[in-house]
Structure 1
Amino acid sequence: MTQFDFGTLKSRYTSFLSRRDAAKELVKFWDNPPGPGVIELAGGMPNAGFFPIDSIDLHVVSHPFEKNHGKNGLKVHMDKQEPKDMPLSMSLQYTNTEGMGPLVSFAKKMIERINPPAYGGWNVCMANGSSDAMYKVFEVLCDEDSTVMLEEFTFSPVISNIKLQGASVVPVKMQLSADPEQQGIDVDRLADLLDNWSVGPYKHLNKPKALYTVATGQNPTGMTLSPTKRRRIYEIAQKHDFLIVEDDPYGYLFFPPYNPKEPMNNAYWDDKSLTVQKYVDDYLVKSFLTIDTDARVIRLETFSKLYAPGLRLSFVVANEFLIERIFNMSEVTTRAPSGVSQALVYGVVKEMGKKYSSESEPSLDSMVTGWMEWPMKVAGYYTHRRNVAFKALYETEGYSKGLYQVMEPSAGMFIDLKPCWPQNELSRPDHYDLIIEKMDKLNQTLLKTGVQVVLGYRMAVDVKASKDTCDFVRITIAYANDDQQIVEACHRIGKGFEAYFSHI
């Protein structure tokens, strides 16, 4: 493993920084913390005695949707002295911008265990959710003459985020395939785009500084880049010298293959040999970090999809130099993430770790194991919801009549449905030129049947460039109250497609 020191990383990656980033330096009026015996009279921090909250007790369920938390769940107590490594007197106070030490250490151990970088010289920095992390990354990297590549369909706020810096976005074609080896970014077309940049459609732009990708359970398609594709994309990044920004909110929600003959099979529930380590080793697709020998990958992780989005807590993993610049960005903007959010996450994680520890104070390894049991359980429930939705969709009259296809996702919270256009529609030369109008009419029909969906074209980086593949609707299995609501929604979708196609 190559070990990079800070100076080498700074020399190598300074050229990737935006011109604005160089001007962002915090003007400090205070010294470093004093030594023992010095009375603190410098900082504007209130004494913990001024905090009105004396203690917090959390009742934690043992699995999603559990009703009686007291039976199998955990109780987490926090006060101004406990837990000793992160008491409320600390978490309710002004805290370190990079995140509180115990939680940062946990995040590092989590990366070491699950997605260890292929080099030495990396670090992590906490952020106020992935959107905050994303903004800071692109503020640090992008100027008005920068170019960033994105999958042709993506989480649309990231487009606005990049353009906010004045930078340009370029879509990368995807293969919307059920084949796990083919789905996701079309690597051959990516290579061709970059190899022929000077004569291609974006020759008026500078060559890309970065590729932004949701590599696992891609939003909105649910597709996942195979390990083979990840290696090829990384080699292209090396050849053309761009960074890879890997956003991974859904990676822990991986789906085992769906079996239409046994639609309710669920490996998370049926495999009695399943352990946390097996889940990590056999179920999860490894991050770009694990093949990152150059320190060119920036990974965004979040607690939103696994714990609670309202906590607004996430972290960034990157080489030490880029982390230092992201940290500096936080110093002059948001400062530290909410100490209460950090305390809630850390307190629960620490209590979960006790199950795997023989000591009263669990080790970081035990805490990672205890925590990973939770996303494994969450993934099991999402897999169940996937099964319920697929079964309901496949049993509708609309599907039986061949009015739509189901683009089966490999991870995440979303399912995409693609209309099966009649031959007379496909044969029209203006069919795809009118695709937005047609999809809007389909959307209105679905609303009348009582379901709200997201139209694929609204998540396209460039609708014209993706007009032949943007004709899908995205639905989520995350928010429904129960199985019955999922079934009802899917049946309404089937009726909506029937109603739409009966009038074209």
Structure 2
Amino acid sequence: MDAAYAFPDAPVTHIGVRSLGDKESTPIDLSHHLSDMSNARIASPLKALMKYMAQPGMISMSGGLPHESYFPFEEISAQTAVPDTFSLTPEEKSSFSWLWNLFGAPTRKTKEVTIPKRAAGGDMEAVQLATALQYGQATGLPLLQKFINEFVQRVYRPINPLTTTLVHVGNTDGWAKAVLTLCNHGEGILVEEYTYPSAIASAWPIGVRPVPVKMDSEGMLANDLDHVLSGWDVEARGGMKKPHVMYTVPVGQNPCGTTMSEKRKKEIYAVCVKHDVIIVEDDPYYFLQCGTYVPKAQRTTAKVAKDGKDAEEAFIQSLAPSYLRVDYQGRVIRLDTFSKTIAPGSRLGFFTCNPMFAERLLRAGETSTQAPCGFGQALITSLLNGWGMSGWIRWLRGIRAQYTMRRDMCMDALYNHFDLREDLRASSIRAWDGAPVLVAHKKGAVAQEKYDSTTSLFSIVPPVAGMFLWIQVHVYNHPAYDDLVRSGMSESLASATLTFRLWKKLVDNKVLWSPGWFFATDGVQPDIGEMGFNPAVKAKGMEGCFRVAYSSASPEEMNKAMDVFAKQVVKFFE
């Protein structure tokens, strides 16, 4: 398929050629990456007629569309928050002030949104139930398409001049469609050594397996990615061809909380150009970039943030650039979602990619999910257009401030219950290379200035984005560890056995953290049954690792959970 194929059902975002150092945007033919299933997809004949139905004066008797008079909804009304609901630099008068603002404040301002069955003046592109609740094209509502395209141009600023967008039903659905579009049975996908387990589960049934790449404090390592691909041995890999698709969560990585710099993305992109790899950038936490954690005792009162165009631009510039900013060949498929910034139940998001991929993804949507839910599209489109672009960016700035507070509260709770100090010396700690690793001991147990790594409890690198802490308990310091190894267990299995024991103790005390084995990309089928887990089957990823989400618990609950963890982990090492 011609790489310059004009995507016929959605507007193309013509942004203009931007230089990238000594590179210029030069889109190339990437059609050889399409799967057999994708190449076999044809346009839905009935969907192709819909563009004619919208023509003024057309008497359509071609489709089996129910008449809108039979829809039982005459209008939908909602009370929505205003864009400046959340303070950009909230004052923490008490640890619960933000929670009161979120759930109980009587002064919270709202605005009513009403969506009629028919828009005034017969505007077919306006948000109205007659079209939102009807069968529609998989490209989504026209006003939503327009807003998303303008947003991509304003915030992500892709350098590929043919970049376009297409709606999907959330990022998990978007990734599932991308796998079917790009991968055939028996192929592999390049992933971080720990990754979002549903991404693996989506690919598993069609015979596509994960190929792990090592990580550091910024996520995937470019040199290890090149090492894996350069040394690919088809026979040693059981006949698997060299992977040509990479899945990555570059910001607030799930589960490890790592965030890639622009420099790292350029390095990885260069490797992908060298080996002809397509990058699928799953970025649900992009706007939850909260900066470097500062312990509570060292924090100073933040300056009051300002609004206006200059403040908007400063916010955009503060965000780690998307892979779209380095994609001069059109080999990136970006996944965005409204799940983390509006609501998961909205089941609405969008692809940003080159027109050839977008057209194939559209074909996949036409015969599966079709368009996202009309109710959700109508409400979110009305919300966004009511707020306008500046209002939406203001909302995202407020959401970032809220998750920054949550990150800080969870880290503060760790400081309250443990003696945490920065320590880069302990070579036995499996920590991110070069990162400011915090190493924990029992509160008050360490008098010396530097830690003795043989008595440390766990280590953590505070995240700069996302929803998660990644805690590695130092199970190799457990009194039984050496005995288990001497008994014939491998080090991985000994670590796994002890990690599972600690996880079970936390569960018994009503604290549920996600165990590391959920996220390991070791090629073992991700099946946990009824939690009757056998660590001998899947030892990798059990090396003391836990994912701790600070996204929904209250400050009181966070502190209580860390109190339980402190008591149980101390008992565990005794």
TM-score range, shorter chain: 0.7 to 0.9
How far off is 1:261 after superposition?
5.1
How far off is 1:46 after superposition?
2.3
Q: Is the 8 A contact 2:44 2:366 kept in 1?
A: no
> Who is 1:356 aligned against?
none
For each residue in 1:298-334, what CA deviation from the matched residue of structure 2 results, as whole angstroms up to 9, or x when unmatched? 0000000111111111111110000000000111111
Q: Name the SS for the 1:119 alignment partner.
A: coil
Following superposition of structure 1 onto structure 2, how do residues 188-203 of structure 1 map, counting pairs within 5 Å? Answer: 188-198=223-233, 202=237
Distance 1:66 1:453, change over 3 A: closer
Q: Is the 8 A contact 1:215 1:225 kept in 2?
A: yes
Distance 1:286 1:169, change over 3 A: same
How far off is 1:408 after superposition?
1.1
How far off is 1:198 after superposition?
3.2
Select 2:316's aligned residue among 280, 285, 294: 280
Alignment partners' CA distance in 2, 1:211 and 1:200: 21
Q: Is the 8 A contact 1:25 1:332 kept in 2?
A: no
Instruction: Give the alignment's TM-score, normalised by structure 1.
Output: 0.88
Alignment partners' CA distance in 2, 1:44 and 1:199: 50
Alignment partners' CA distance in 2, 1:201 and 1:408: 38
Q: Is the 8 A contact 1:59 1:70 kept in 2?
A: no
Instruction: Give the unaligned 5+ runs of structure 1.
Output: 178-182, 354-366
Q: Is the 8 A contact 2:119 2:127 kept in 1?
A: yes
Following superposition of structure 1 onto structure 2, how do residues 108-257 of structure 1 map, counting pairs within 5 Å? Answer: 108-175=149-216, 177=217, 183-198=218-233, 202=237, 204-257=239-292
For each residue in 1:455-504, what CA deviation from the matched residue of structure 2 results, as whole angstroms up to 9, or x when unmatched? 11221011899848842111111121x221221122222122112222xx
Distance 1:247 1:93, change over 3 A: same
How far off is 1:44 after superposition?
1.8
Q: Is the 8 A contact 2:249 2:281 kept in 1?
A: yes
For each residue in 1:45-95, what CA deviation from the matched residue of structure 2 results, as whole angstroms up to 9, or x when unmatched? 223222111122211222371535775222212212348621222212222
Distance 1:271 1:173, change over 3 A: farther
> Who is 2:20 aligned against?
none
Which letter does structure 2 place at the counterpart of 1:448? D
> Who is 2:464 aligned against?
410
> Who is 1:325 aligned against?
360
Alignment partners' CA distance in 2, 1:276 and 1:449: 45
For each residue in 1:88-124, what CA deviation from the matched residue of structure 2 results, as whole angstroms up to 9, or x when unmatched? 2221222221111110111111111111211111211
Q: Name the SS for the 1:6 alignment partner.
A: coil
> Who is 1:46 aligned against?
66
Q: Is the 8 A contact 2:140 2:167 kept in 1?
A: yes
How far off is 1:424 after superposition?
5.8
> Who is 2:545 aligned against?
472
> Who is 2:520 aligned against?
460
For each residue in 1:330-368, what CA deviation from the matched residue of structure 2 results, as whole angstroms up to 9, or x when unmatched? 111111111111111111111212xxxxxxxxxxxxx2x
> Who is 1:360 aligned against?
none
Identical columns (%): 28
Q: Is the 8 A contact 1:224 1:411 kept in 2?
A: yes
> Who is 1:375 aligned against?
396
Distance 1:379 1:145, change over 3 A: same
Alignment partners' CA distance in 1, 2:509 and 2:3: 58
Instruction: Give the unaligned 5+ runs of structure 2.
Output: 8-25, 87-100, 420-439, 443-455, 525-537
Instruction: Give the alignment's TM-score, normalised by structure 2.
Output: 0.77
Distance 1:38 1:396, change over 3 A: closer
Alignment partners' CA distance in 2, 1:202 and 1:193: 11
Which letter does structure 1 place at the counterpart of 2:378? A
Alignment partners' CA distance in 2, 1:423 and 1:501: 5
Q: Is the 8 A contact 2:333 2:353 kept in 1?
A: yes
Alignment partners' CA distance in 2, 1:33 and 1:166: 40
Q: Name the SS for the 1:137 alignment partner.
A: helix
> Who is 1:98 aligned against?
139
For each residue in 1:241-270, what CA deviation from the matched residue of structure 2 results, as whole angstroms up to 9, or x when unmatched? 010000001111011211125466686xx4
Q: Is the 8 A contact 1:145 1:166 kept in 2?
A: yes
For each residue in 1:257-305, what CA deviation from the matched residue of structure 2 results, as whole angstroms up to 9, or x when unmatched? 11125466686xx4434733221111x1110011100000000000001
> Who is 1:450 aligned against?
510
Which letter does structure 1 place at the counterpart of 2:305? K
Alignment partners' CA distance in 2, 1:82 and 1:318: 32
Q: Is the 8 A contact 2:293 2:464 kept in 1?
A: no
1:56 aligns with 2:93: no
Alignment partners' CA distance in 2, 1:193 and 1:265: 45
Alignment partners' CA distance in 1, 2:305 and 2:183: 49
